[in-house]
Structure 1
Amino acid sequence: MGKRVGWIVFLLFWSGVSLATCPVWPPARAEQEIARLQQQIIQWNDAYWRQGKSEVSDDVYDQLSARLAYWQRCFAPPVSLDEPAPPDTGTLTHPIAHTGVRKLADKAALTQWMATRRDLWIQPKVDGVAVTLVYRQGELAQAISRGDGLKGEDWTDKVRQIPSLPKKVNGPLANSVLQGEIFLLRDKHIQQQMGGMNARAKVAGTLMRQEASSALQGLGLFIWAWPDGPQDMAQRLQQLNKAGFVWISQYSQPVNNAGDVETLRARWFTAPLPFVTDGVIVRTAREPAGQQWVPGQGDWVVAWKYPPAVQVAEVKNIRFSVGRSGKIAVVAELDPVLLDDKRVRRVNLGSIRRWHELDIAPGDQVQISLAGQGIPRIDGVAWRSGVREKPEPPSSRFNALTCFYAAPECEEQFLARLVWLSSPQALDLTGLGEAVWRTLHQAWQFEHIFSWLTLTPQQLQHTPGISPARGQKLWHQFALARKRPFMRWVTALGTPLSQEALKAAGDHRWQQLLVRNEQQWQQLPGIGREKAAQLVNFTHHDVLQSLTAWLAAQGVSGF
């Protein structure tokens, strides 16, 4: 049941994209953007259905299709563009139409759907290519690709080469029509860890090749419908299993409520399975007569998909931030999207160079996933806006020796230096994040990054935005900072020296650092020629001479 369905309304039920408000576009741009995206989806469909090639992941395809449909609803173009259905190349008529599966957004929607239905069963939503099998007098007579749900391609010769497929059946199945999913056989596939692996496109490509392929030996078949078969599900499963269709009996279970579905959905997401899945199917045992089946009208079966590993998000803005070392980082601000249990609003793109390589502008649709430790990342651009208006990045005048002193152009780097010096690696000033430092700086107009040492208890207790009790605690933190070991103050300054090298140096006074030349610095672990030159330049710079002299005047140990 993992095929690309042309009914966009289904996609809107479950899509994770942020569609809170319509784009603020003039009519001409709306028409241009809709037409461009529609054309791209047509091209993807053509490559998929005619060539068996998937040029974009299913998650991205589904979400961009949903976004296209939403734009169409926003701007109501005079010509309907919402039919990215399979091309009409099928030559064989399905004896029973494929209905497709409505996707539900969440547990609440599933609860509502289940409330009025009885005798419900759950199955994995196997990710492959849908097919109709026609048995006549016990022989496999036809295998028809899903196509548009009414007509499909003749896949009989290829399907007969799938080893696990029963070529002969008897009893009630001798003259029957079955619908199922041809899938890629996997050994202990764990969906949560391994993802979709583009399995659907691999299966489609194998079946669409003209020449014989050994890859057919690696395919299996999951039967998910027996139109006009036994209405009793247990009897249906027993007969299918006896005929050799074993997967459906192993992976079909009765459920009473959405909680049961949620439990099995979570279990199958993390369990080793013989196929790739992208969610679960919930269906009623009793189904209408096969002649009543119509594409898009299968209200007795629904899907609850797994959250996509990749989300598509619209870039709202590009912002630049300057770190304490002067490096400029680029941040993409996004329409919020959910990834796992995280609401992602912004993603760090890294350097200006990488931003240029990615070529991201406001209005683009980007692919977001979670890297190690749940950190969101941009994997690439799924769709570029037709209007390319990129902001101008700040100049590269910032470096490791700028913005120790406050200045209007230095605000970001100056605050970054304050946040660093209060970190556990440096002076370990608990509870002093960027917001508190900004409040203190705005109230008392710091001259440099250590000006806070001169603040009195009275000043701190009367700082706008800080309570008297908090102000008193801050004063105690600042008083304790004066007693921190010398090496912590060296780190607080931003000296480009690792903790390992600091310990190996064993210095207890700033003057000891000043007398080291490049060769002496290189004797310490992890310091090469370039780093040694940086250290000599850093420690002898006029700004550092001024700051360390000020710390000496304040009685800070080691200066």
Structure 2
Amino acid sequence: MSKDPKAEILELIEEIEKHNKLYYNADSPVIDDYTYDMMMKRLAELEEEYPEYSFSYSPSKRVGGNPLEKFQKVEFTTPKLSLTNAFSDEDLRAFDQRLAKLTDDFTYSMEYKYDGLTVVLYYEDGIFVRGATRGDGVIGEDVTENLRTIKNIPLRLNEPETLEVRGEVYIDKANFERLNEKRIEDDENLFANPRNAAAGSIRQLDSKVTAARPLDIFVFSLESGGSQGFKTHSQSLEYLSKLGFKTSRCVKADNIDQVIRFCHELERTRGELPYEIDGLVVKVDELEKRTEMGQTEKSPRWAIAYKFPPEEKETVVESIQVQVGRTGVLTPVANLKPVLISGSVVSRATLHNQDYITEKDIREGDVVLIRKAGEIIPEVVRVNKDHRDKSSEPYVIPVTCPECGGPTHRNPEEADVKCLNVSCPAQIRRKIVHFVSKKAMNIEGMGPKQVQKFIEKGIISDISDIYDLKDKKDDIMALENSGEKSFINMVNAIEDSRKRPLSRLIFALGIPFVGEKTSKLLAERYETMDNLSQSTLEELQKIDEVGSVIAEETRAFFDNPENIQLIDKLKDKGLNMSEGKKSVTNLFKGKKFVLTGTLPTLKRDEAKKIIEENGGSVVGSVSKKTDYVLAGEAAGSKLEKALSLDVAVIDEDTFLSMIR
């Protein structure tokens, strides 16, 4: 090395970055860790001694800086649009036909749809100056210091280019498993899946935390800038690779048939990849053609995301456990040998009821094929009986409650087995947990673990006891991990809950089959709890969308003296027992809305509340009877169906302008 400090620092930077690329990109290191660490140590010493030569692109800057108080906002010069989705060959062909009507003589490029967090990187004269999350597509969060810690984000390009690129930060499968293993050792909560781990890591206020996470990146788009003139997207990716970026794999296709073949091939082989992907992004390759095709307000017309069907994997049913719900229903749950599927570790799957178990013949010790229904809920597809132990026996739900030992009963006309003991601790616990939940009375500070502690210590024994907790401070403060501030916040939340409208209280009481929507219908129809409790079965059955089963369960609930006693107690505690004025206007009277995707500022519950307060209703699926589809980011098949049926699609800005 040169004796001149500046020259030595520059030589060390170049040498260290060379070895970073060999290690992280090529997976072929040529020096041992000790030699690498000594170079980094020497670089840090020189930069400390000669701060005037501490360059922003030095690899020493990747270790993380001082914690930030909050993220600054970054306004994008070009919108970061989301993609519409395709789920079948027919969807892809329809996409191709739409493009053919706009222009001709175009080809496709295809890239893996990585399951991570999208970020935007900015470079000036080849130096990394800023990085942001995608945010709402218009404004993102400045996470520059956190992105500096990712080894595959070049802090200095191979050419002095000024440009803006877009990429996906992710964690590969092996590193995700190691990360969770370390969290087990440290007695920390596990990450649900690699995407959540990556997203949470990037949004850390302390970049040192980010630096400790095994993050990586694929760059997939040159958004703007650069001195080269490209005719195709694939050419731009080749150039970005030469500049030093780790770019996404790009496969070219001359027509939609080649695209479909590659989609099916990737479906079969995606499990062999070292990282999670949930589909394939199909783009028109020619940049000039993209300009001709244009874009909608939310999505480019020249690109679509093909989403894979649910991934399926084999694992073992290690045991079957029965849980008791708040209505006394016994639900069997399979405890599985943990397996990574569709981006998250699955260790449990509901088995619904005895009929489901019998039909699929699921037994403890079985090898089963599982998948995520709708990519969310794990379910058993079938049993691989070739691996079944000959000594195994059919599983039968116990005839006594596993929580209280009380008798169980199954109505011949129903699938569920129920515990008949109304004092069953499991039922009481789950009823209270439901009562305090966010969509019910929304009492923060009373999660399942806290409720369990309160019951075990005799602090509460039923729902009404919640409203006496302010007088039990000493008992609560004596519990492990209880603090003064948490107690005050919980008491304040309890006080606030007394003012909730009748509809929330009806839902909180946990009447079988009475969900949020039905609770609102009943509250609007009867206005007070007294009126509802005195309703007749015939009246209830006449209410639209209630039906005979809900009507019977509602009437049975109010015929139970214990439930009436509970309601009287809650009255005495000062809970609101009336709905009050519900409809602000009749602006949306009779109009049906479908919500899809993530809205920029409104939460889905907030949008739903606005619609209902103005006389409208929110339904779950799109049909010709739907009046509006309120679509946000990553809107999926509901948006596609709305477009095919010519249903009006509006964004949040349009929606808000309608109520002003």
**Structure with larger RCO (C-alpha < 8 A, sep 6+):** 1
Asked which structure has the greater CA Rg, the reply is 1
TM-score by length of 1: 0.45
TM-score by length of 2: 0.39
